[in-house]
Amino acid sequence: MMQFLRFGVVGTAGFVVDTAVLYAGLALGLGLYSGRAVSYLAAASTTWALNRAWTFRAAPRAPMARQWALFLLVNLIGFACNYGTYALLVAGVPLVAAHPVLGVAAGALAGMVGNFWLSRRFVFNASRAAA
């Protein structure tokens, strides 16, 4: 349970990064969809680093580049839930299109449980670290 709570705190930090990068991308001329793809990658990289250092700190250390890539790979399911929720809301709810942070929040919640399970099972798993 403590791991899940730490994962939630890290997810909150990821949400802040996601939102900040999205709004920066929008200010630089990226659209709502391409800006979100960039912001998601920044947030996923941030949450991987924080989860490695804090949430799953007791897990054996796999090589960083390999573990980061594995984190991104196994969390594609969570990404699909996250980005899919965001895209549906931006496309269908004018309030969300005007305030994309609402879609980012809804997407983050949609992907959180799956991302936790996948991360714990496949990325930060003692039996897989040596593989």
pLDDT of amino acid 114: 85
- Residue length of the chain: 131
Phi-psi domain of 125 (left: phi exceeds 0; alpha: psi -120 through 50; beta: other)? beta
Q: According to the model, what pLDDT value does residue 18 have?
A: 92
| Number of domains composing the chain | 1
CA-to-CA separations, 4 to 54, 62, 101, 112, 129, in angstroms, rounded: 11, 21, 23, 10, 20
C-alpha separations of 54 from 8, 36, 96, 116 in Å = 12, 26, 32, 14
Phi/psi for 65 (5° steps) reads: -60, -40
- Tell me, what's the pLDDT at 128? 54
Return the pLDDT at 130.
47
Q: What is the pLDDT of residues 57-113, one digit of tens each?
A: 988 888 999 999 999 998 888 889 988 999 999 999 999 999 999 999 999 888 888
In which domain, by residue range, is 110 found? 2-129
Band (pLDDT 50/70/90 cuts) for residue 1 is: confident
Evaluate whether 39 touches 25 at the Cβ level (below 8 Å).
yes
Strands (E), 3-100: none
